[in-house]
Amino acid sequence: MVKVGIIGASGYTGAELLRLCAQHPSVEVVAATGDSQAGTLASHLYPSLAAAYPNLVFEEFTVDRFTGLDVVFLGIPHEAALEIAPQLVGKVGCVIDLSAAYRLKDSSLYPTWYGFDHTQPELLAQAVYGLPELYRSQLPGAQLIATPGCYVTAASLALTPLVRAGLVQSQGVIVDAASGVSGAGRALKHGSLFSTVDEDFTAYGLLDHRHTPEIEQVTGAQVLFTPHLAPMNRGILATCYARPQGDAPTTASLLASLATFYKDEPFIVVRPQVPSTKATLGTNTVHITARYDERTGYVMVLAALDNIAKGASGGAVQSMNVALGLPEVSGLSTVGMYP
């Protein structure tokens, strides 16, 4: 069995990691921290975990508790991950970070987009980007994996095949994406209160959302990114616009290009139907479609996913599977919960 530890297990991504590990045939969770919830039964905070983890108690973090484990997931804020990851890399088999601490390869971007200086160039260079559909060959044997942002996963999987194939221009790409409230985390915030979110739909992070340079890094495109908050628990729907390059495509040719790029990917569904967030609920699956509008000359690509599953914890488990040589689909569902 793969011995797993989860640091920050009391947050939403941590709870999702616990859920996914519970259904993974090759994983045993041996330690789970939640410093703000230390001493609390996991099943008390999340009754959904009661059957799988009746006796699991959130602990405070100590390095010794995690030393020697096969995999340690970090479900903690960026700067906390910067502090803890160096203490674990080399002492555990693989550290999988769900924050943005090791995502951006250009360390000079961190002060502008995240408000802190990145002081670990060696670890930053060592980190492998945890999006298997695009970086699978780099994952086996990785000691540090940076799991992508949820918006980035949706936008990158929608756009990258077309950018790489030279079917769309890499300048002037627009990404409009809406996320469920769980993307803001479990902490109490005015913007995620029920009375604030219910019956509302709003944009935020105009022109300066921190996922912008990450989307550009992965896709190789210049992107205007606008995120929106939707009154739902989970899900992301990304609508991406780009100008064609070369001869004008057709909707059929765009769909064929995407389908060919993802033909062997177990978690990517390409089809003509419009994606919906509910179709991906609880899964590691991304649903993608595309259109070409002859009237305006725009290519449009849409992607839907579960922001906590494929967009965070599910993507992290998928990367773990690849890094450790386990079946890539282990512990991960492709069938959504409906209705």
Q: pLDDT tens for residues 108-122?
A: 999 999 999 999 999
d(CA 314, CA 49): 16
| Average pLDDT of span 200-227 | 97
- Binned at pLDDT 50, 70 and 90, residue 45 comes out as very high
| Stronger pLDDT, 260 or 337, i.e. the higher one | 260
Residue 203's pLDDT is what?
Answer: 96
Distances in whole angstroms, Cα of residue 109 to Cα of each of 41, 84, 100, 145: 39, 21, 12, 19
pLDDT of residue 185: 78
Q: Is the dihedral of CA 164, 329, 236, 293 positive or negative?
A: positive
This prediction's pTM: 0.96
> What amino acid is encoded at 119 in this protein?
T
In the prediction, which pLDDT does 195 show? 77
pLDDT at site 19:
98
**Domains in the chain, ordered, with CATH?**
2-148+310-324 (3.40.50.720), 150-307 (3.30.360.10)
Q: Is the pLDDT of residue 133 over 80?
A: yes
Pairing of strands 94-97, 144-146: parallel
pLDDT above 90 for 31: yes
Is residue 97's pLDDT more than 80? yes
| Residue 165: closest CA among 301, 269, 293, 61 | 301
β-strands 236-242, 298-305 pairing: antiparallel
CA 31 to chain centre: 23
Mean pLDDT taken over the chain? 96
Q: Of 21, 94, 150, 240, which is the active-site residue?
A: 150
Could you give the C-alpha distances from 235 to 139, 173, 299, in angstroms and in order?
A: 26, 22, 23
- Our answer to whether residue 150 is catalytic in this structure is yes
Distance CA 31, CA 15 (A): 13
- Residues paired with 145 in a beta bridge: 96, 128
Lowest mean pLDDT among 46-60, 71-85, 145-159, 186-200: 186-200
Tokens of 41: 């039964």
Q: Kindly tell me the sign of the dihedral angle through the C-alpha atoms of 10, 14, 17, 21.
A: negative
Please give the Cα distance from 242 to 21 (Å, whole number): 38
Q: How far is CA 199 from CA 121, 194, 196, in A?
A: 45, 9, 8
CA distance 16 to 6: 11
Residue 262 to residues 169, 266, 286, Cα–Cα distance (Å): 21, 9, 11
Task: For residue 182, name the pLDDT band (cuts at 50, 70, 90).
Answer: confident
Average pLDDT over residues 203-216: 97
Tokens 């069938």 sit on residue: 335
Task: Please give the structure tokens belonging to residue 20.
Answer: 């996914």
User: Is 205 a residue whose pLDDT tops 80?
Assistant: yes
Q: Are 63 and 87 in contact (CB under 8 A)?
A: yes
Residue 297: CA atoms inside 13 Å, Cβ hemisphere, count? 6
Contact in structure between 292 and 301 (CB atoms under 8 Å) = no
Under DSSP, the state recorded for 59 is B
Tell me, rounded to whole angstroms, the distance of Cα 226 from its chain centroid: 17
The SS3 call for residue 46 is: coil
pLDDT at 197: 85
What is the average pLDDT across 309-335?
98
